[in-house]
Amino acid sequence: MTVSYVIKRLIYLVFTALLVSLIVFSVTQLLPANAATMILGEYATDEALAILNSKLGLDDPAVVQYFRWLGNVVQGDFGISLRTSQPVGPTILNAFGRSAILAITSLVLVCIIAIPLGVLAASRRGKPTDLAVSLVSYIGVSMPEFVLATLLLVWLASPSIGLFPASGYVPFSEDFWGALHHIALPVLTLTIVLTAHISRMIRSEMADTLEMDFIRAGRLRGLSRRRVLFRHALRNSMLPAITVIALDVGYLIGGVIVVEEVFAFPGIGRQLILAIQNRDLPMIQAGALIMAASYAVANLLADLAYGALDKRIKY
Amino acid sequence: ATRADNTLRLSVNITPGVLNPMLSRAAAEYMMSEMLYSGLTSLGTDMTAQPDLATEWSSNDDVTQWRFTLRQGVKFSNGQELTSKDVVASLRKLLDPETGAPGRRNLGPIKMVEADGDYTVVVTTETPFADLPVALTYPTAKVVPADIIATNFDSLAQVPVGSGPFRLQEFRVDEVAVLVKNPEYFVAGLPYLNQIEIKTFPDAAGSTAALLAGEIDMIHDVQPTDFARIDQASGVSGLRTPSGRFLDVVMDTTVAPFDNILVRQALSYCVDREAMIELVADGYGTPGNDTPINAAYHYYADAPHKSYDPKKAKTLLAEAGYPNGLDLELIASVKPGYRSTMAVVLREMAKAGGFNISVKTMDHSSYLDQVWKKGKFYVGFYNMMPTEGMSFNLLFTSGASWNETKWNNTTFDEYVRLADETTDSEKRKELYANAQSLMQKEVPALIPCFFDILGAKADYVNGYEQHPRGASFAFHKIWVGSNPPTKS
Amino acid sequence: MTQTMVLDIKDYSLTYQTQSGPIRILENINLQIAKGEVLGLVGESGSAKSSLAYSVMRDLPGQVELETGSMWLKGEDLMTMTEEELMHRRGKQISMVFQNAATALDPTQSLGDHVVETLQAHQAASKEDTLKRVYELFELVGLPDPILMANKYPHEVSGGEKQRVVLAMAISSNPDLILFDEPTSALDATTAVNMLDLFAEMQKKIGVAGLFISHDLGVVAEVADRVAVIYGGRIVEVATVDDLFANPKHPYTQSLLASLPRPSDIRNKRGLKVDEGTPPPRRGEVPSCNFSHRCSKHDPAICDQSRVFLEVQGDRKLACVRPDVAVDETQASSSDILPATTDVVLEVKNLTVKLGRTSLLDELLNKEATQVHAVNNIDLKIHRGETVSLVGESGCGKSSLARALVGLNSFEGELRLNGRDIKALDEAYRADVQIIFQNPDSSLNPRHTLETILSRAIKLYRPDIATDERSEAIQKLFEQVRLPAHYRNRYPHQLSGGEKQRVAIARAIAADPKVIICDEITSGLDAAVQAAIVALLRKIQQDTGVALLFITHDLAILRHIAHRTAVMYLGEIIETRSISGLDHAPYHPYTEALLSSASSPDPKTETRQVRLKGSLPVRTSLLTGCGFESRCPRRIGDICHEQPAPMKEVVESSHVLKCHHEIVDLEHIEPVWKFT
Amino acid sequence: MLFLIKTLRALMRSPQGAVGTVLVFLLLLISVFGPLLAPQDPESFNFGSRFAPPSAEFLFGTDWFGRDLFSRILVGARSTVLLAILATFIGTASGALIGIFSGFVGGWVDELIMRTIDAIMAIPGLLLALMILTVLGSSSLNAVIAIGVAFAPGMARISRSTTLAVRELDYVSAARARGESKLWIIFAEILPNMVAPVIVEATIRVAFAIMTLATLSFLGLGAQPPSPEWGLMIADAREHMFRSPWPILAPGISIALVAIAFNLLGDGLRDVLNPHSQE
Ligand SMILES: Nc1ncnc2c1ncn2[C@@H]1O[C@H](COP(=O)(O)OP(=O)(O)OP(=O)(O)O)[C@@H](O)[C@H]1O
Ligand SMILES: Nc1ncnc2c1ncn2[C@@H]1O[C@H](COP(=O)(O)OP(=O)(O)OP(=O)(O)O)[C@@H](O)[C@H]1O
Ligand SMILES: [Mg+2]
Ligand SMILES: [Mg+2]
């Protein structure tokens, strides 16, 4: 792995981010209505609209708007939210931070649960354990987040049980246990869905690896079952798993959007939906950019990790 | 006795976004500006004008000129004294089309605003306008310092400068706004509360759960579906006030098929109004009679409700030239949720009457852009207005700024104009009754039911009087009792 | 007797259950291996050689339907052992070396750790002792610089080195028995022969018993004491190497040997037997003799009376009830190759092929492209009716040249077809120069019927054939390559390997080409099938006068098809010579080593040993000196490193070679083969 | 045809394949004949039986308008399942074509296409669909298009990598050496040999499309009320979730079941179409 490889990837990353912003911007240009309509709401008059449009610079040609936006971003200025008149940068970073807590907690939990589960299933192929794990993971991957989340809400947050709050968010800085209590359901939802996904993946990777010659060779050298399973099979299955987990970051981000909506969790997903609903262009752009960047960075990290772990890969 | 911290934690469902009081549009924003600012008059729960900055007011005989006497010694939060020049500047700014203030057209036909000395403001109207003191209770009609208007109006979006009972301490969009007691408030002894935390719970279930768990003390706006549940729980109680808030089905009376009065009438016979209340408002409402006025207003004319009569509807429709029924597309914005519920229920009810309605929902932005005031058949939503005249003038007179139906009935216009210009209550009653019955007959819009204002609070919250208009709150009169929530 | 045997398999049978019913894998196997003895096991692909090895290891891949008999390892019955007990035997008492070392090693584990792990599984020892033992073992299997080696990962070393590591693991616990499952077939000839030497040496040193599996009789002959021939899951003949080669008794063994080329074939004018039999039935009724369906001396009255078992018959064990009836040898093709003409069809001059792709960003970043000079500056001529064989190690650039000639690789240099200068490969050129690929499984589109495959070629190249006559043309092609006509609607996967290759040949000759390039088209095939394909090509050449560029790494088959051979090393043709002179010096030192590494099943031929060390380097930039210099056993000195070797002509003008040695010096070299 | 029968037979042999095939078959039947099977009008209100629990009259109970959930599920199957298949088809077909083209042409065209696809894939699919739908306006058909567009890049990537693998195979080299046209090579040589992985992927994606479609309806951007689209049913039922769980459970379990069916079928197909598993 060379420095030049990393540089190359970073260039790609910037290129990707640029392309993402361009795509998102183009799509937003097509959106019916604009921020001014939303700001004025059901009180708009044509003159008021025109005034607000020119004040917000929404009447400039799209190209001018895009490059103005880009120019500011390059200087680290993400603009002012059209919906709330608050600066976009801090708002989106805050929201992102909260979402990241959700995502990372889920991801860590998933890794702790899913990997052993997948290994277990693969090593007992066709046995009841495998069937049980497979069945559960089938249900897990087949349950859209919003269904799962709603069901959890009905069961665990219903007034009669009231185990968890139905929604909202408490900052960790304010009340640690309260915060934990509040993220429990969203994290549970994401974890269940992702665990199903990743354990299934690990299982199939493992199953493939277990068919490989070197597994048989290990067995026929008299190595113990455990060693063959964990030292050889798992390690070789983890490599492709890393890539898939990184790709799942994209999936996770999508899941986060839904889960935040269901649990009214003030993260980046909700922020983006609000922004789209309100045609809050700077916010949409910043949100999409930050999501795309986290996806790209996750993939980059995965590739680097892959390169570090798998001695065969030469960048 | 009050609770030690005397802090009220309140939930709203839409985050207050706009802080500038003249630009605010939503209930949560009105709430904030009411706490931070004062106006000339405020709206009582009986829909009359109450003193706020103005302690008394009077008009000339033909009600074209009003004099307001201001309180003395009122201080802005920046320490400046509030005088008539601030009131004049504020009202002028509000009326300036450049400002783009949402409530500009709701204040009445104001021609001129002038100061008469430091503590008197004179307002002159184009035409006689008896309701001016009530009109000036409009939530955006708040007073801000004249020099800020002149030099730095935009700064109000971040830093409020007002004379209300509270002052802003912290504001995080989409999360929380913390307001603290204004020690210099002009009414001695008020407010009772030391602090108010306004928390945003976009999800109704969330705020309900939070209230039940004792994490908040009060919900400003409860969904009809949650109300019974809250009301039954111990330690909390539901608040319910009949209101003039309504959903209407707007029909553009200038285009086919709605230019045919028979079609509109047919549709109005397709509504089972009691069932509608049950299905759309979960029973928390009052039936509507296709006029924006109900019993919550002064001059409500109690007429028998139209019955659900699909047969008659069919006959009318056939008469109108649609013997085989009529296909229509009804558009409903997704905000608030019961717009589409109403659309679906209407669709089902109108089937029997020969209407084949398909429902199309739309996100609110697109709705505002493409449908509102433009579409020919859609679901509108309006809060209660302070007066009958404002409601009519806003929606149904020919010159109404939100003249969605383009009904433009000169007889109706005349009734409303005459009522505006008179102070004689009997005469007004008659005129408004005529206007209402005309609407019932001609059905420019379908107004099947009104929604009650629903809220909820913990039992230890005292002094709160729910306002039927839904845009006034009087938080300065609330205190938190000594049986505080037992929080885990 | 059982007590002295290391392995004693008694009447072992195995049946698997599959989705389409039970399948007999092994039937009534009886085999013994004594201490210190190496038993060779040969048989065609699918004859259940590997299955037998897995049975011995007690690691059955299939779903067992029925398993009978017994299997004794030094007096202990393997078949009754628990998994736990087996774990302690495997790798300690009995180890196995797989066909492909590349896949038998965990890519994420260093070579040293592999051995350490194996050692630790069987005996407790301190870390240092274990490591010391690892280095010892590495030294033993001929890995230079063991410490460096131990830290390397599988992908960092060559195939031969990997196989040595596997061997080191196999012998690490001084086992009683090692099973070798085709341990050399994935290796290059020059590497394979080194490995064979090593096995023999190892065996001598530690006296371990071995079961050596191979489909190549020649290879088995090098290492085994006795040979067992397996056919369709049954052992048909067991004898000592000498007895078996000198006097095969079972008709299958005889046929197997008859289709195997030998170095002495040109001298003896020996042709190869062409017999592509179908494999024996493994399902349904159990035949009394499973070779009878292709046996020329099959007599139902005698052979089908009762199950024919393996029985002692004289100096050997044999499963045949008519051993003394002779087989007629008329099926053997003649060894004569018609002489070629002197008109040049295809000529290349200074042809260079560079491979390696650069990305857009690399180009923008001005990064230097890492290109491989797969073919470097070669000259080659092919005459009408002539077969030129191109030989060389894996990776030397044979395929790159072939692909360049048919427009699949871009190249620099001159190319002439029938004297016509070819700048861009046009329609006419493409029709005239056809290619057949090595792997018949991938060279035919699995989703097309044979009809589609052939009609495409006709449509493209033979516009003279009208659409409605195409069917007839296809018919003719089928006849030409001797495929049954009813195959035309089949899909490739319904054919055997040899049949697929025939389809590929049919596709190539559909264009009526001037040149056919055959890229290792026989290397995946069993000997009998290979002989048949070679015969078919010769027939086609006789009929059409087509020129062939026959790429192969199998030097034994050359004598049966080629007129001339070109030897390639590191992208360069270092020698071109006629086949008739193959048995005589002068040789290029590389050619000499290459020829010497071809294994010979002929007990009457002695092959002189010339061994190469190391493996083929990659040619990225142009070398200054001779490409072979780094491995050359006859390296002169610095001149080899500093100056490119000059092309020298041997008296006979069609023989040229590229070497710093004087031709006269090379002429004194002993011949590679001694025929007795 | 023969191929189809053979595949089916092979499918029936594995438990996943068998269960998946049968379930999917049943589902398709329901999708087509659901409206005929429904015991009640899915839209008519039963004023007297709002929030009824499951009973003989209402197999799955009723919702807040007293509509029969069983009938709604049956009728809604069509808009859910068939539209998901359509969406998958759009995404798969366009993605596969882009992927093959990109992989086959190679060079900077390939690089440009792939970088663009990387960028699109970096935008979460749901977000992309959300934006597209906001542009096009909410409707089931637009949701189908949005999902199709959101699926295409992933599909393009898969088919590109398959193309790259197939492209290196000798029969493609043979076709190139033969001088076949690019169209022939793409459509006759490469395409048929990459349908297997693409079909497997597509089957599993149907499950995903069903979920995404439901999610979009849930977010208010797909089907229009009062259509009995399952995601929309859940979205609307959420308000009433503490009064009766059935309006959520019925469509929720249905969605999961359908997704499971397609996942099973996909996994079954993966095993069957995998060349290694063929005899
Ligand atoms: N797991 C299995 N299930 C069913 N049949 C099998 C299984 N493994 C092998 N066979 C069959 O057993 C026969 C022998 O296979 P085996 O691999 O032992 O042959 P081989 O002699 O080693 O061939 P090769 O030279 O190609 O390696 C073949 O016909 C094969 O199809
Ligand atoms: N696409 C490519 N890019 C870079 N290097 C390549 C490429 N293809 C082949 N090579 C390298 O070119 C050299 C010659 O390869 P080629 O396939 O021509 O050898 P070969 O003699 O046919 O070998 P084999 O006997 O294994 O078929 C090898 O070192 C190989 O690694
Ligand atoms: Mg084998
Ligand atoms: Mg090659």
The DSSP-derived string for B318-355 is HHTT-TT-EEEEEEEESSSTHHHHHHHHHHHHHHTTTE
- Comparing alpha-carbon positions, the chain A residue that sits nearest to B23 is A40
In chain A, the number of structural domains is 2
**Is residue D42, in this structure, part of any structural domain at all?**
no
List Cα–Cα distances, B2 to B7, B8, B483, D72, D87, in angstroms. Answer: 10, 11, 9, 53, 61
Q: How far is D111 from chain A (nearest CA, A)?
A: 11
Q: Which of A99-108, C322-331, C441-450, C469-478 has the lowest mean pLDDT?
A: C322-331
Q: Residue C500: pLDDT above 60?
A: yes
What is the percent of chain C with per-residue pLDDT over 90, rounded to a whole number?
Answer: 32
Q: Is C51 in the pocket of ligand 1 (CB under 6 A)?
A: yes
Q: Residue D277: pLDDT above 60?
A: no
Q: How far is B411 from chain A (nearest CA, A)?
A: 26
- Overall average pLDDT of the C204-213 stretch: 88
**In a shared domain, residues A58 and A98:** no
Could you read off the pLDDT tens digit of each residue along chain B, which spans 488 residues? Answer: 556 678 888 988 877 878 889 888 778 889 999 999 999 999 988 888 999 999 999 988 888 999 999 999 899 999 899 999 999 999 999 888 777 777 777 788 888 899 888 999 999 998 888 889 999 999 889 999 999 998 988 888 888 999 999 999 988 877 788 999 999 898 888 888 889 999 888 777 778 878 887 888 899 888 888 888 888 888 888 999 999 899 999 999 999 899 999 999 999 999 999 999 989 988 999 999 899 998 888 888 888 888 899 999 999 999 999 999 999 999 998 878 888 899 999 999 999 999 999 999 888 878 887 888 888 999 998 888 888 888 898 889 888 878 888 988 999 999 998 888 888 888 889 999 999 999 999 999 999 999 999 999 988 888 888 888 888 888 888 888 876 544 43
**In a shared domain, residues A45 and A172:** no
- DSSP, collapsed to helix, strand or coil, labels residue A237 as helix
Whether C225 and C292 have beta carbons less than 8 Å apart is answered as no
Place of tokens 């003949």: C237
Q: Residue A147: pLDDT above 50?
A: yes
Place of tokens 């002064």: B298
Report pLDDT for B486: 46
Whether C99 and C78 have beta carbons less than 8 Å apart is answered as no
Query: Which pair of structure tokens corresponds to residue C70?
Result: 């017994």
Confidence of residue A315 (pLDDT cuts 50, 70, 90): low
**In a shared domain, residues A117 and A70:** no
- What's chain B's average pLDDT? 87
**In a shared domain, residues A152 and A188:** yes
Place of tokens 């807040």: D64
User: Which residues are in the CB-under-5-Å shell of ion ligand 4?
Assistant: C 399
Among the residues of chain A, which ranges form H helices? Answer: 3-30, 35-40, 46-56, 62-74, 88-123, 128-141, 145-156, 176-210, 213-220, 225-226, 235-263, 268-277, 281-309
Q: Which is more confidently placed, B92 or D242?
A: B92
What stretch of H or E contains D157?
helix D140-167
- Overall average pLDDT of the C54-60 stretch: 92
Pick the ligand that lies closest to the CA of residue C390. 2
**Which chains have 3+ CB pairs within 8 A of B?**
A, D
**Is residue D44, in this structure, part of any structural domain at all?**
no
- Overall average pLDDT of the A88-106 stretch: 88
Which chain A residues have any C-beta within 8 angstroms of a chain B C-beta? 31-34, 37-45, 47-48, 51-52, 81, 83-86, 91, 95, 153, 157, 159, 162, 165-169, 262-264, 266, 270-271, 274, 277-279
**In a shared domain, residues A14 and A163:** no
> D262 C-alpha to center of ligand 4: Å?
43
- Interface contact A230, partner C, CB < 8 A: no
Burial class (CB in 10 A: 0-12, 13-18, 19+), C336: exposed
Residues with CB under 6 A from ligand 2: C 355-356, 372, 374, 392, 394-400, 553, 618
What is the percent of chain C with per-residue pLDDT over 70, rounded to a whole number?
Answer: 95
Q: Which is more confidently placed, A57 or C171?
A: C171
- Comparing alpha-carbon positions, the chain C residue that sits nearest to D165 is C442
> Which residues does chain C have within 8 Å of residue D175's beta carbon, measured at their own beta carbons?
445, 456
**In a shared domain, residues A50 and A97:** no
- Overall average pLDDT of the C110-120 stretch: 92
- Interface contact C20, partner D, CB < 8 A: yes
Please give the full DSSP string across C282-346, using - where no structure is assigned. -SSS--SSTTGGG-TT--HHHHTSS----EEETTEEE--S-TTSPPP-TTBPP---PPP-S-EEE
pLDDT tens sequence across C139-185: 888 887 888 889 888 888 888 888 889 989 998 888 999 999 988 88
D122: domain CATH number is 1.10.3720.10
pLDDT tens sequence across A227-275: 998 889 888 888 777 777 777 777 777 788 888 888 878 888 888 888 8
> C184 C-alpha to center of ligand 3: Å?
12
Q: B118-150 as b/e, with b when 16 or more CB fall inside 10 Å? A: ebbbebbbeebbbbbbbbbbbbbbbbbbbebbe
pLDDT tens sequence across D28-67: 898 888 888 888 888 888 878 888 888 888 888 888 888 9
Please give the full DSSP string across C177-215, using - where no structure is assigned. EEEEESTTTTS-HHHHHHHHHHHHHHHHHH--EEEEEES
- Overall average pLDDT of the A199-216 stretch: 86
Residues paired with residue C178 on neighbouring β-strands, in sequence order: C95, C210
**Is residue A283, in this structure, part of any structural domain at all?**
yes
List Cα–Cα distances, D29 to C92, D37, D231, in angstroms. Answer: 60, 10, 20
Report pLDDT for B252: 92
Q: Residue C7: pLDDT above 90?
A: yes
Task: Please state the separation of Cα C82 from the chain's center in Å.
Answer: 38
**In a shared domain, residues A134 and A273:** yes
Q: Which of A127, A148, A150, A189 to mutate to test the interface with D (most CBs of D within 10 A)?
A: A150
Return left, alpha or beta for C377; rule: phi > 0 is left, psi -120 to 50 is alpha, else beta: left
- Interface contact C631, partner A, CB < 8 A: no
pLDDT tens sequence across D176-234: 888 888 888 888 888 888 888 888 888 888 888 888 888 888 887 888 888 888 888 88
Q: What are phi and psi of B359, to 5 degrees?
A: -100, 135
Report pLDDT for C317: 92
**Which chains have 3+ CB pairs within 8 A of A?**
B, C, D
Query: Which pair of structure tokens corresponds to residue A133?
Result: 């794990």
Q: Residue C338: pLDDT above 80?
A: no
Confidence of residue C358 (pLDDT cuts 50, 70, 90): low
- Overall average pLDDT of the A193-204 stretch: 85
What is the percent of chain D with per-residue pLDDT over 70, rounded to a whole number?
Answer: 97
Pick the ligand that lies closest to the CA of residue C568. 2
Dihedral over Cα of C142, C144, C145, C151: its sign: negative
Query: Which pair of structure tokens corresponds to residue C64?
Result: 């067992």
**In a shared domain, residues A33 and A165:** no
**Is residue A36, in this structure, part of any structural domain at all?**
yes
**In a shared domain, residues A121 and A68:** no
**Is residue D46, in this structure, part of any structural domain at all?**
no
- Interface contact C134, partner A, CB < 8 A: no
Confidence of residue D278 (pLDDT cuts 50, 70, 90): very low
Chains A, B: CB pairs < 8 Å: 112
**Is residue D92, in this structure, part of any structural domain at all?**
yes
| Residue A14 CB contacts under 8 Å (≥ 6 apart), including other chains | none
Report pLDDT for C49: 93
Contact across the interface for C365 and A4, Cβ inside 8 Å: yes
Q: Which is more confidently placed, A199 or C517?
A: C517
Return the CA Rg of chain B. 23
- Overall average pLDDT of the D260-275 stretch: 80
- What's chain D's average pLDDT? 85
Contact across the interface for B363 and D134, Cβ inside 8 Å: yes
Task: List the one residue out of C479, C501, C442, C436 whose CA is nearest residue C276.
Answer: C501
**Is residue D39, in this structure, part of any structural domain at all?**
no
**Is residue A79, in this structure, part of any structural domain at all?**
no
- What's chain A's average pLDDT? 82
Domain boundary among A74, A103, A127: A74
**In a shared domain, residues A59 and A165:** no
Whether D237 and A154 have beta carbons less than 8 Å apart is answered as no
Give the integer Cα–Cα distance in Å for B417 and B422: 9
| Residue C191 CB contacts under 8 Å (≥ 6 apart), including other chains | C158, C159, C160, C184, C615
- Comparing alpha-carbon positions, the chain D residue that sits nearest to A31 is D135
Report pLDDT for C528: 85
Model confidence, pTM? 0.80
Report pLDDT for A145: 84
**In a shared domain, residues A153 and A63:** no
Q: Is C390 in the pocket of ligand 1 (CB under 6 A)?
A: no
Q: How many CB atoms lie within 10 A of CB B438?
A: 17
- Comparing alpha-carbon positions, the chain D residue that sits nearest to B351 is D44
Report pLDDT for A68: 86
Whether C675 and C600 have beta carbons less than 8 Å apart is answered as no
Establish whether chain B is in contact with chain C, requiring a minimum of 3 CB pairs below 8 angstroms: no
**Is residue A173, in this structure, part of any structural domain at all?**
yes
- Overall average pLDDT of the C225-235 stretch: 93
Report pLDDT for C2: 44
**In a shared domain, residues A141 and A107:** yes
Range of the domain at D94: 14-33+58-274
List Cα–Cα distances, D28 to C561, D198, D261, D266, in angstroms. Answer: 61, 21, 11, 15
**Is residue D7, in this structure, part of any structural domain at all?**
no
Q: How far is A311 from chain D (nearest CA, A)?
A: 23
Confidence of residue C627 (pLDDT cuts 50, 70, 90): confident
- What's chain C's average pLDDT? 86
- Interface contact D267, partner B, CB < 8 A: no
ipTM confidence score: 0.77
Confidence of residue C239 (pLDDT cuts 50, 70, 90): very high
Confidence of residue C364 (pLDDT cuts 50, 70, 90): low
In chain D, the number of structural domains is 1
**Is residue A82, in this structure, part of any structural domain at all?**
no
Report pLDDT for A43: 62
**Is residue A315, in this structure, part of any structural domain at all?**
no
- DSSP, collapsed to helix, strand or coil, labels residue C558 as helix
**Is residue A181, in this structure, part of any structural domain at all?**
yes
Q: How many CB atoms lie within 10 A of CB D89?
A: 17
Burial class (CB in 10 A: 0-12, 13-18, 19+), C96: buried
**Is residue D40, in this structure, part of any structural domain at all?**
no
Give the atom of ligand 2 at the shortest distance from the alpha carbon of C394: 25
**Is residue D53, in this structure, part of any structural domain at all?**
no
Range of the domain at A223: 88-309
- Interface contact B366, partner D, CB < 8 A: yes
- Overall average pLDDT of the C604-610 stretch: 81
Task: List the one residue out of D2, D164, D5, D175 whose CA is nearest residue C445.
Answer: D175
Q: Residue C639: pLDDT above 70?
A: yes
A183: domain CATH number is 1.10.3720.10
Give the integer Cα–Cα distance in Å for A227 and C118: 11
Eight-class DSSP state of C617: P
Q: Which of A133, A134, A147 to mutate to test the interface with D (most CBs of D within 10 A)?
A: A147
